[in-house]
């Protein structure tokens, strides 16, 4: 549905070039929710704004629904943009218009008669769960409700693509979840292709099918969400995963941690589970087969894109030979084992 081919964007600031995007290639298949994640200044906003040409790339092609939109006349571009809607971090609602009137705006622009506007807006109000707020002004809505209005307005022209520019960054975690659920719901109900940019891996985890990681204007990694979470390759990707998945060694364990094995001490392990290994009861198998016990100190297991993954701190209790064999067994089952020391 969306293809970016060799997209570069250079800004000139104080006569100096800023290479915001460098030769980006990206394919967002129809019907998918595709996330682009990156740190501040990585080029996310520039990238998403290139998709509807709010920002014109310095070079490269932007193909939406099989059409290279960089070659369109202004008049054709305006028409095409109706099929590429966008929502923003700060909602961009008109404060002087009610919820109903905000949602009706794009329909008024295309000259739809009033008797057709009313049922369409009512249908959109129902879709986003705001039927009872139709006559309210934006100032009297919560952030989540404002974003729902923005989503309804974005859907008014039955777009094929919805671009989400940090759409949940101004919202609290619970409201973020409900807005992401709404986006997933409309993706499924309407078959809408969604491209979103975010700096939060949790957003990607919750709704995306695929994700691309952007760093300093370059696309450094791209894959399904399951693959990215279970086998992140690039260092930036790994940092993002760490931000959703990290376990610190508790202070009392840190204090007694010895770097070398000693009689009466047991290895403290950090286990990283990815992909297939979480489907196998490896820990209990290791315990039975090698006569060891696992004293799990903390664990964080998660699920994204059909893949279970997680991280665990555990003390492996048993004699030295048995713990070594058990560690080998875990490793052969694709669990990454890090011996942090001995406690």
Ligand X SMILES: Nc1ncnc2c1ncn2[C@@H]1O[C@H](COP(=O)(O)OP(=O)(O)OP(=O)(O)O)[C@@H](O)[C@H]1O
Residues that bind ligand X (CB under 6 A): 11, 13, 18, 20, 38, 40-46, 199
Closer residue to ligand X, CB minimum distance, 40 or 73: 40
CB of residue 169 vs ligand X: minimum separation in angstroms? 8
DSSP string for 29-40:
-TT-EEEEEE-T
CB of residue 11 vs ligand X: minimum separation in angstroms? 3
- Tokens 């009313």 sit on residue: 118
The candidate with the shortest Cα–Cα distance to 47, out of 93, 90, 86, is: 86
Signed CA dihedral, 155, 157, 160, 163: sign only? negative
Closer residue to ligand X, CB minimum distance, 42 or 316: 42
CB of residue 266 vs ligand X: minimum separation in angstroms? 44
Which contiguous run of DSSP H or E holds residue 202? helix 201-207
CB of residue 9 vs ligand X: minimum separation in angstroms? 8
CB of residue 338 vs ligand X: minimum separation in angstroms? 32
| Strand pairing report for 336-342 and 84-88 | unpaired
Spatial separation of the C-alpha atoms in residues 181 and 174, rounded to whole Å: 11
Backbone phi and psi for residue 276, each to the nearest 5 degrees, phi listed first: -65, -30
CB of residue 18 vs ligand X: minimum separation in angstroms? 5
Three-class DSSP labels, 110-173: CCCCHHHHHHHHHHHHHHCCCHHHCCCCHHHCCHHHHHHHHHHHHHCCCCCEEEEECCCCCCCH
Closer residue to ligand X, CB minimum distance, 18 or 340: 18
Spatial separation of the C-alpha atoms in residues 184 and 256, rounded to whole Å: 47
DSSP string for 54-114:
SS--SEEEEEETTEEGGGS-HHHHHHHHTTEEEEETT----TTS-HHHHHHHHHHHTT--H
Spatial separation of the C-alpha atoms in residues 133 and 140, rounded to whole Å: 10
Closer residue to ligand X, CB minimum distance, 44 or 153: 44
Closer residue to ligand X, CB minimum distance, 88 or 309: 88
Closer residue to ligand X, CB minimum distance, 45 or 230: 45
CB of residue 217 vs ligand X: minimum separation in angstroms? 7
CB of residue 289 vs ligand X: minimum separation in angstroms? 49
Spatial separation of the C-alpha atoms in residues 260 and 253, rounded to whole Å: 15
Q: Structure tokens of 289?
A: 């087969």
Spatial separation of the C-alpha atoms in residues 17 and 15, rounded to whole Å: 7
Closer residue to ligand X, CB minimum distance, 18 or 72: 18
Closer residue to ligand X, CB minimum distance, 218 or 302: 218
């Amino acid at each position: 549905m969306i293809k970016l081919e060799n997209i570069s964007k250079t800004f000139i600031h104080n006569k100096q070039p800023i290479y915001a995007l460098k030769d980006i290639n990206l394919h967002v298949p129809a019907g998918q929710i595709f996330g682009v994640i990156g740190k501040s200044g990585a080029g996310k906003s520039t990238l998403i704004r290139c998709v509807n040409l709010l920002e014109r790339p310095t070079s490269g092609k932007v193909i939406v629904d099989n059409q290279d939109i960089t070659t369109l006349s202004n008049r054709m571009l305006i028409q095409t943009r109706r099929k590429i809607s966008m929502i923003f971090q700060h909602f961009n609602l008109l404060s002087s218009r009610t919820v109903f009137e905000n949602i009706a705006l794009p329909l008024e622009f295309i000259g739809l008669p009033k008797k057709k506007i009313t049922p369409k807006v009512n249908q959109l109000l129902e879709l986003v769960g705001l039927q009872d707020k139709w006559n309210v002004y934006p100032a009297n809505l919560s952030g989540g409700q404002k974003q729902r209005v923005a989503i309804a307005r974005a859907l008014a022209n039955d777009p094929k693509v919805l671009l989400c520019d940090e759409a949940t960054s101004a919202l609290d975690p619970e409201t973020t979840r409900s807005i992401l659920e709404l986006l997933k719901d409309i993706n499924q109900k309407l078959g809408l292709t969604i491209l979103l940019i975010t700096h939060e891996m949790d957003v990607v985890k919750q709704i995306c099918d695929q994700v691309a990681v952007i760093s300093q204007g370059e696309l450094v990694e791209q894959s399904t969400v399951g693959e990215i979470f279970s086998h992140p390759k690039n260092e930036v990707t790994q940092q993002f995963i760490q931000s959703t998945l990290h376990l610190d060694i508790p202070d009392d364990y840190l204090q007694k941690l010895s770097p070398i094995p000693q009689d009466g001490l047991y290895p403290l392990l950090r286990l990283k589970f990815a992909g297939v290994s979480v489907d196998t009861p490896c820990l209990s198998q290791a315990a039975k087969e090698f006569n060891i016990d696992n004293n799990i100190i903390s664990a964080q297991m998660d699920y994204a894109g059909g893949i279970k993954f997680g991280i665990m701190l555990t003390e492996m209790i048993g004699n030295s030979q048995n713990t070594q064999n058990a560690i080998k067994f875990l490793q052969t089952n694709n669990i990454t084992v890090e011996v942090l020391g001995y406690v």
